[in-house]
Amino acid sequence: MININRDKPDQNITKKFTQGDNDANKQSITKRSENYSQWFLDIISAADLADNSPVRGCMVIKPNGYAIWEKMQMTLDKMFKKTGVVNAYFPLFIPISFLSKEAEHVEGFATECAVVTHHRLEKNKNGKMVPAGELGEPLVVRPTSETIIYAMFAKWINSYRDLPILINQWANIVRWEMRTKPFLRTMEFLWQEGHTAHTTREEAHARALQMLEIYRIFAEEYMAIPIIKGTKSESEKFAGAVNTYTIEALMQDGKALQSGTSHLLGQNFAKAFGVKFLDQNGHEQYAWQTSWGMTTRMIGGLIMTHSDDKGLVLPPRIAPIQIVIIPIWASEKDHQEIIQTANSLAKQLQDLDITVKIDDRDMRPGPKFYEWEKKGIPVRIEIGPKDMEKQSILAVRRDTGEKQSATLIGAAEHIRDLLDKIQKDLLEKATKFRDKNIRTADSYEEFKNILEKGGFISAHLCLNPKCETKVKEETKATTRCTPFNQKEELGKCIICGKESKQRVLFARSY
C-alpha cells in the first residue's frame, strides 16, 4: 500500500513508483502556436486515441478513440431511428461494372479506388507468395456504397407501397489517399452512410434537409462544434448528386472542416440501376433518392475544436467517461473510508446517467491528474482525508482548470449541473471563435490579404466554374458552401466582376 496525501506527499515512496511517476510526465505536447500539425498528432498520442498501422495510410483506432466513436455511433443511431431509418449491411466489394453505370459517379471516385483483381496467392519459383487466380471481373473495395445498394433497391422496389425505403449502414470505407493524417484523411475510415428512396422529388429533398439538420444538432449539441449549413458548389458536390448540402466547421488553426454531408441524388442513380416503381395510377416511375454520411473525421474535428496545449478536451455529452474520481489516502483507515465514499458518489452519479471511473490505483495522485487531463475527461473529482473531514469533494473542470468544492450531500446533482455548464461553455467558446473569424471580402486583392489570417471569407462569386477554379488554383482556398437563409444581396464576383446575388464562404480546408 502506497502512502499518499494530496497536500503533503509521503517522501518514502519506493523508487519503482517514483520512476513510474516520472515516466508518466515525460510525454510532452507541442504547443499549438509552435507547430499545429504536430500538436494535433501529439494530442492523439497523449490521449491514446490511435496508433500508426503497418499499412500505409491506415490507422489503428485504440480503445480510447474507439470509445468516442461508439458514443457518436450510439447517439446518431438513436437520432436516425427516430425518423424511421433502419440499419442494414451491404458487401464490401463492388463489381467494377456497377461503378461505371453512373458516369459522374465513376469519374468522381476513379482515382481513389482500390481494386481487387485476384482471389488467391501461390508460391512462385523463388518461394514468394504472389497473386494468382485472376478474377473475371475486378472488384472495387467500396469508396461509397450507392451502386451496390441501389442494385438491391431495384430488386426490392416494385410499387409505391414499397416506398419510402430508409436505410443506414455503419461500415468502413476505402479511398486511396496519397497524403494521410489520423482522423482527418486516411485510406480506410469508419462512417455511416444513409440511403433513401422516395416517390417524389419533394419528399426526397425534405429527407436530405432533415438529415442535414440531424447532423447540425449532433455537431452542436453533442460535439459542441458550431457549424454553418449550406449548399456545395457544382464542382464541390458529391459525384452524381443533384445537390449536396453540408455542415462546415472552423478549426482553431483557421482551416475549415467538412463535417457531414447530405445529398439529393434526384433520379440519376435510379435511372442507372433501374430503381422503378408503379405509382397509384399504374404508371412506371423512377424513384427519387438521397444519401448522407458522417465519418470518424469528426473525432479529428473534436480534437481541433476544443483541445489545448495540455491535451484532449472532451464535451461531456460525447465523453465516454464523464467523471473520474480520484481517492487520495494517507493510511489504511483513510483508504477504506474514502473508497467507500467514492463508490457511494459514483453510484449516485450513475443513477443520473453519468459515466464514472474510480481511479484507485496505488500510485501518487499527480500522475493520475496528468493522465486524465491528457485524456480530456470533463471533470476530475478528488476525495482526500481533509475532504472527508469537511464532508465535501473537490471538482476540477478540464476545460478551464477551475476548482470547485461541494458538500457530499447534493454533490451528484452539483456535478450534473456542472457538466451541463461545461457543455454549454464549450459551444459558446467555439462559436465566438468561429464568428470572430468570418470576414468579408469585396475584391480579389482583399480576399487574398484576408486569407492569410485564416478563417472563413464571405465573398461574391458568379456561377462560372472558371472563377471558382482560379481561386482554388491560386490560393488553395475552396468554396465551402453557400450558406442557407441568406438575404439576397447583389454584388460583383471577386474574379470576373459579373453580377452575383449571394455570397459564398471560402476557406482553406482539411
pLDDT for 378 equals 98
Angle value at C-alpha 190, between 186 and 194, nearest 5 degrees: 125
pTM of the model: 0.92
pLDDT for 487 equals 84
pLDDT for 420 equals 98
CA separation for the pair 385, 502 (Å, rounded): 64
CB of 27 within 8 A of CB of 41? no
Tens-digit pLDDT profile for residues 483-509: 998 888 899 999 999 999 999 999 999
Q: Which letter, b or e, does each residue of 411-446 get, where b requires 16 or more Cβ atoms within 10 Å of its Cβ? A: bbebbbebbeebbeebbebbbebbeebebebeebee
CB of 215 within 8 A of CB of 225? no
Is the pLDDT at 79 greater than 60? The verdict is yes
DSSP 159: B
- The band of 106, judged by pLDDT with boundaries at 50, 70 and 90, is confident
pLDDT for 27 equals 65
- The band of 464, judged by pLDDT with boundaries at 50, 70 and 90, is very high
Answer with the residue of higher pLDDT: 17 or 441.
Answer: 441
Span of 13-27, 75-89, 195-209, 411-425 with lowest mean pLDDT = 13-27
Span of 4-18, 145-159, 431-445, 466-480 with lowest mean pLDDT = 4-18
Continuous H helices in 102-239: 103-109, 146-156, 201-217
pLDDT for 179 equals 85
The pLDDT of 177-193, averaged and rounded, is 93
Is the pLDDT at 10 greater than 90? The verdict is no
| Percent of the chain residues past pLDDT 90, beyond the cut | 87
Is the pLDDT at 25 greater than 50? The verdict is no
How does the average pLDDT of the chain come out, rounded? 93
Q: Where are the beta strands (DSSP E) in 384-507?
A: 392-397, 403-407, 438-440, 456-460, 478-483, 491-492, 499-500, 503-507
Q: Give the chain's domains with CATH numbers.
A: 59-306 (3.30.930.10), 323-425 (3.40.50.800), 438-507 (3.30.110.30)
Tell me the backbone φ, ψ of residue 357, rounded to 5 degrees: -130, 135
Is the pLDDT at 38 greater than 80? The verdict is yes
Q: What is the CA radius of gyration of the chain?
A: 27
pLDDT for 109 equals 84
Q: Which letter, b or e, does each residue of 147-175 get, where b requires 16 or more Cβ atoms within 10 Å of its Cβ? A: bbbbbbbbeebeebeebbbbbbbebebbb
Answer with the residue of higher pLDDT: 10 or 323.
Answer: 323
The pLDDT of 152-166, averaged and rounded, is 98
Tens-digit pLDDT profile for residues 190-212: 999 999 999 999 999 999 999 99
CA separation for the pair 175, 142 (Å, rounded): 8
The pLDDT of 1-20, averaged and rounded, is 34
CA separation for the pair 107, 111 (Å, rounded): 8
Residue 278, CA distances (Å) to 163, 187, 206 in order: 11, 41, 22
Query: Mutual orientation of helices 297-306 and 63-81 as an angle, nearest 10°?
Result: 110
pLDDT for 153 equals 98
Residue 410, by phi and psi: left (phi above 0), alpha (psi -120 to 50) or beta? Answer: left
229 strand-pairing partners: 247
Span of 353-357, 362-366, 437-441 with lowest mean pLDDT = 362-366
The pLDDT of 337-345, averaged and rounded, is 96
Is the pLDDT at 2 greater than 50? The verdict is no
pLDDT for 325 equals 98
- The band of 66, judged by pLDDT with boundaries at 50, 70 and 90, is very high
Most confidently modeled range among 113-127, 168-182, 393-407? 393-407
Is the pLDDT at 4 greater than 50? The verdict is no
Tally of CB atoms within 10 A around 386: 14
Answer with the residue of higher pLDDT: 329 or 400.
Answer: 400
| Percent of the chain residues past pLDDT 70, beyond the cut | 95
Span of 13-22, 148-157, 454-463 with lowest mean pLDDT = 13-22
The pLDDT of 47-61, averaged and rounded, is 95
User: 348: which 3 cell numbers?
Assistant: 449516485
pLDDT for 11 equals 32
The alpha carbon of 98 is separated from its chain's Cα centroid by a whole number of angstroms, namely 29
Span of 108-112, 189-193, 386-390 with lowest mean pLDDT = 108-112
Residue 254, by phi and psi: left (phi above 0), alpha (psi -120 to 50) or beta? Answer: left
Is the pLDDT at 177 greater than 90? The verdict is no
